[in-house]
Amino acid sequence: MSSDLRQEFKYTFRLSVPITIGLLGQGLFGVIDTIMIGNLLGERALAAATLGNNLNWVPLLYCIGLCVAIPVLTAQARGAGATEKIPGILRHGIAINLLVALIGSALLCVFVYFNGLHLLGQPAAVCADAKSFACLIALSIPAAAGFQAVKSFRDASGGQWISLLWTLIGLVANVFLNWVLMTGSLGFPNWGLEGAAAGTLFSRILSFAGIVLHQRLVCEFRKGFSLGQIRENLRIGIPSSLHVLFEAGIFIIAPFFMGWISEASIAANQVAMTISSLVYMFPLGIAQALSIRVGEAYGSRDFPRVRTIFAGAMGFTLVLMSACAVLFVIFRNQIPALFNLGPEAAQIASVIILVVCAYMLFDGIQTIAAGALRGLSDVRIITLASFVSYWIIACPVALLLAFPLGLEGLGIWTGLAIGLATMAFILGGRMYRNLKAGKVPV
């Protein structure tokens, strides 16, 4: 590894550490909820929470995708020496995100209230348990989206440790509130499954308030809004949010496919999804740091530096994901025990985990390539590739393998793995062409 490569990766790694820890903290919200619900309330409650959480991910992930514009535009402005644009980027990003979050939250509550889960063909008992849980989680979407918008800006502006602090405070609050509200401990009301949702709601509000108030944000709201800046934010935000939605959407809908098989399959799917999502935070944190660093280099038109930054991040990620895959193979039979699954669900989960191990390298490649492409504002290809990979290829293949060919849960996750491999091939090829050409194709 050349000295330039080592030096550039050192900067990327240093930036990615607090971002990755913060993402792991956010991912632990789902892990902790899953473990606590499974152990305190049982397998059926875990299946209900899975359906409720997966519905809520749809609007929330769209908002998270919209946030991508904030750090990318901030980094490009800093690289070009146009720091006077930064308050406007933040102001418009927060406003857009909160508006979309409020609309998404309201629509989701209406869908759930009018028995939308039954229309998806899920077990009646699970739908009944999931109804209140899903609505309570929906109320937390604006706080979660607002937190993500401010976190994205702080990460791109040297405030990564502030983001990490309020992520961890929210995580601790979530654990405490889950425990007291699910069990009625310390004089709190015993709300059962709804207590887990209420704990998430209150902890997200706490995190959002904290990250906003910790240090004064210079947004200059008194200057109002402009259509030009809105278009600039949406030019990157909409393709990025569609990419997130297309990619996460296939994983969100997988539990509903599993619900056509059995309740045990839903619970097993949640375990596999939880641990794979947690590991995914490692390349995602590096990719977010990569977007910022590539954005700065691209803003200053230093394309050779873009190549060096990308190469270091990709090499490290491949080694990291390989190590994680080996650990998952070794402990595939012990992991389901952490979630108190029954024998049938545990057996299904241990098989699915092997598929998760198989696609980890592809997941790392496509995540890092997407992060670099965002830094270059080359985002349309990401949206197109995610739609083709996941909905034209992965979804039909998953259904074919699961039902006509009888592979059930294994078939569904094999289809997901094929989609990730396709995505890695497309985005990796696009980034290679960008680097070879020394410019971003129009």
Q: Mind listing the pLDDT tens digit for each residue in 141-170?
A: 999 999 989 988 888 887 888 888 998 899
pLDDT over 90 (residue 414):
yes
Cα gap 167→25, rounded to integer Å:
6
Residue that wins the pLDDT comparison between 263 and 430: 430
Q: Which two tokens stand for residue 239?
A: 């393709």
CA 200 vs CA 61, 139, 140, 272: distances in Å: 16, 10, 7, 21
Average pLDDT for residues 358-367, to the nearest whole number? Answer: 91
Average pLDDT for residues 404-433, to the nearest whole number? Answer: 92
Given this model, what pLDDT does residue 154 score? Answer: 87
pTM across the whole model:
0.77
Given this model, what pLDDT does residue 210 score? Answer: 92
pLDDT over 50 (residue 233):
yes
Outline where DSSP puts E strands in 232-300: none
Given this model, what pLDDT does residue 30 score? Answer: 65
Most confident listed range (61-70, 181-190, 294-303)? 181-190
pLDDT over 80 (residue 324):
yes
pLDDT over 60 (residue 1):
no
Q: Are 300 and 314 in contact (CB under 8 A)?
A: no
Q: Which two tokens stand for residue 337?
A: 């025990």
Kindly indicate the confidence band of residue 442, based on its pLDDT and cuts at 50, 70 and 90. very low
Residue that wins the pLDDT comparison between 220 and 72: 72
Cα gap 372→295, rounded to integer Å:
8
CB within 8 Å of 423: residues ≥ 6 apart: 247, 362, 366, 385, 386, 389, 390
Average pLDDT for residues 425-429, to the nearest whole number? Answer: 94
Q: Are 37 and 46 in contact (CB under 8 A)?
A: yes
Q: Mind listing the pLDDT tens digit for each residue in 400-411?
A: 999 999 898 899
Given this model, what pLDDT does residue 220 score? Answer: 60
Cα gap 364→297, rounded to integer Å:
22
Average pLDDT for residues 63-74, to the nearest whole number? Answer: 85
Average pLDDT, the chain: 85
Angle at 229 between CA 224 and CA 230, to 5 degrees: 90
pLDDT over 90 (residue 73):
no
Q: 301 in the Ramachandran plot: left (φ > 0), alpha (ψ -120 to 50) or beta?
A: left
Given this model, what pLDDT does residue 397 score? Answer: 96
Residue that wins the pLDDT comparison between 7 and 439: 7
Q: Which two tokens stand for residue 56?
A: 């809520």
CA 415 distance to own-chain centroid? 20
Given this model, what pLDDT does residue 39 score? Answer: 80
Q: Quick one: what percent of the chain has pLDDT higher than 70?
A: 95
Most confident listed range (24-28, 131-135, 313-317, 423-427)? 423-427
Cα gap 298→301, rounded to integer Å:
5
Most confident listed range (84-88, 347-351, 426-430)? 426-430
Residue type, 357: C
pLDDT over 70 (residue 191):
yes
Q: Are 371 and 291 in contact (CB under 8 A)?
A: yes
First to last CA, the chain: 32
Given this model, what pLDDT does residue 252 score? Answer: 76
Given this model, what pLDDT does residue 27 score? Answer: 65
Kindly indicate the confidence band of residue 251, based on its pLDDT and cuts at 50, 70 and 90. confident
Given this model, what pLDDT does residue 219 score? Answer: 65
Cα gap 9→14, rounded to integer Å:
8
pLDDT over 80 (residue 363):
yes
Q: Which two tokens stand for residue 290?
A: 């990569």
